[in-house]
Amino acid sequence: MKNIFPKSLKKGDKVAVISPAGAVDAAQLEKGIEMIKNRGYEPVLGEHLYTKFSNGYNYAGTEKERIKDINWALNDKEISAVWASRGGYGCQHLIQHLKLNKFKESPKWYIGYSDNTVIQSYLLKKGFVSIHGQTIKTSSFGVTEESYDLIFDILKGKAPKYALNAHQFNKKGNCEGELVGGNLALIYALLGTRYSFDFKNKILFIEDIGENFYALDRMIMSLELSGVFNKINGLIVGGMTNMGDEKENKSYEESFDEFAYQLISDKLSKYKFPVIFGFPNGHIKDNRPLIIGGKVKMKVEDKVKVDF
């Protein structure tokens, strides 16, 4: 079955802002919420958007509170899009309790990345696409204006097209397929569960932040042992930020960690599918959105194209 795209937004539509994972302060969302208003939409804040609950991690509320907010946002017929305030950790607590009864009658865009990969995998299992893009809270790297512009373009019905320069680790070739993936740690965490992505004939996107190189190797090995690389048509590798023993934030240019890329490239050397390195999506300043569940064509030659 063809995946379902939500209706395009029009001026005045309501955008729910929720915190499904980590805690966030109001000051961290001021610019993002104002941006939604300035684009002509009405932000509607989740009841527990700024709630804090400490239980080995600073969550944006208890599991019950976060479940309540996300189910409200997904099913309220007056809401046209749901935008996560941030990632962090905690979305895995929610997926067993998600309700889509009203959502199915009026699908809406879900926007986020990082830990939100879990929610996006769930939605795709149910046949709905989502936007893997910048959250309302900007990272310590900042975020380019174009990163948000492109999200609003998608919300208005314009599919993204990207042209990139060649990368030394790229593997040439052309392919097409439905895009799956997101944050590698969450893709890895869902393997073997009923919430994992279906990888057959798909194009896989991965990105990550703050992982030791051995942990990156372990996750790539788990994908291999699970047969993922025998199923996919192609791979897109985004930001690999603050990897290894790096303690300080790297600049945008250094967010495509060369050793991490070398490690991934070596692991994939025996596979024939095309691979793109250096795609501008992830925990980076230039975080350009991708449509999870969207049909994508990738051309990897001297110039690289990724078109939805």
Provide the whole-model pTM: 0.96
pLDDT by residue for the chain (308 residues), tens only, comes to 799 999 999 999 999 999 999 999 999 999 999 999 999 999 999 999 999 999 999 999 999 999 999 999 999 999 999 999 999 999 999 999 999 999 999 999 999 999 999 999 999 999 999 999 999 998 777 899 999 999 999 999 999 999 999 999 999 999 999 999 999 999 999 999 999 999 999 999 999 999 999 999 999 999 999 999 999 999 999 999 999 975 554 554 568 999 999 999 999 999 999 999 999 999 999 999 999 999 999 999 999 999 99
- Please say whether the beta carbons of 287 and 238 come within 8 A: no
| C-alpha to C-alpha distance for 155 and 18, rounded to whole angstroms | 18
Q: Does CATH number 3.50.30.60 belong to domain 161-307?
A: yes
The CA–CA distances, whole Å, from 280 to 8, 20, 93, 165, 289 equal 24, 24, 29, 11, 9
Residue 246 has a pLDDT of: 54
Clarify whether 207 is annotated catalytic: yes
Q: What is the CATH number of domain 14-155?
A: 3.40.50.10740
Clarify whether 42 is annotated catalytic: no
Q: Which of 167, 207, 211, 255 is catalytic?
A: 207
Residue 95 has a pLDDT of: 97
Residue 252 has a pLDDT of: 44
The torsion angle over the Cα atoms of residues 92, 68, 53 and 56, rounded to 10 degrees, is: -20
For 273, the token pair is 């599918």
| C-alpha to C-alpha distance for 303 and 280, rounded to whole angstroms | 15
The CA–CA distances, whole Å, from 128 to 6, 79, 81, 131 equal 8, 16, 13, 10
| Residue ranges covered by each domain of the chain | 14-155, 161-307
In the sheet with 14-18, reading across from the earlier edge strand, the strands are: 42-45, 14-18, 79-84, 109-112, 130-132, 290-292
Nearest 5°: phi and psi at 91?
-65, -25
Closest to 276 measured CA to CA, from 184, 183, 203, 180: 203
Per-residue HEC secondary structure of the chain comes to CCCECCCCCCCCCEEEEECCCECCCHHHHHHHHHHHHHCCCEEEECCCCCCCEECCCEECCCHHHHHHHHHHHHHCCCEEEEEECCCCCCHHHCHHHCCCHHHHHCCCEEEECHHHHHHHHHHHHCCECEEECCCCCCCCCCCCHHHHHHHHHHHCCCCCEEEEECCCCCECEEEEEEEEEEEHHHHHHHCCCCCCCCCCCCEEEEEEECCCHHHHHHHHHHHHHCCHHHCCCEEEEEEEECCCCCCCCCCHHHHECHHHHHHHHHHCCCCCCCEEECCCCCCCCCCCCEEECCEEEEEECCEEEEEC
Q: Which of 114, 121, 147, 255 is catalytic?
A: 114
Q: Tell me whether residue 18 is exposed, middle or buried, using C-beta atoms within 10 angstroms of its C-beta: 0 to 12, 13 to 18, 19 or more.
A: buried
Angle, helix 258-267 to helix 213-225, in steps of 10 degrees: 20
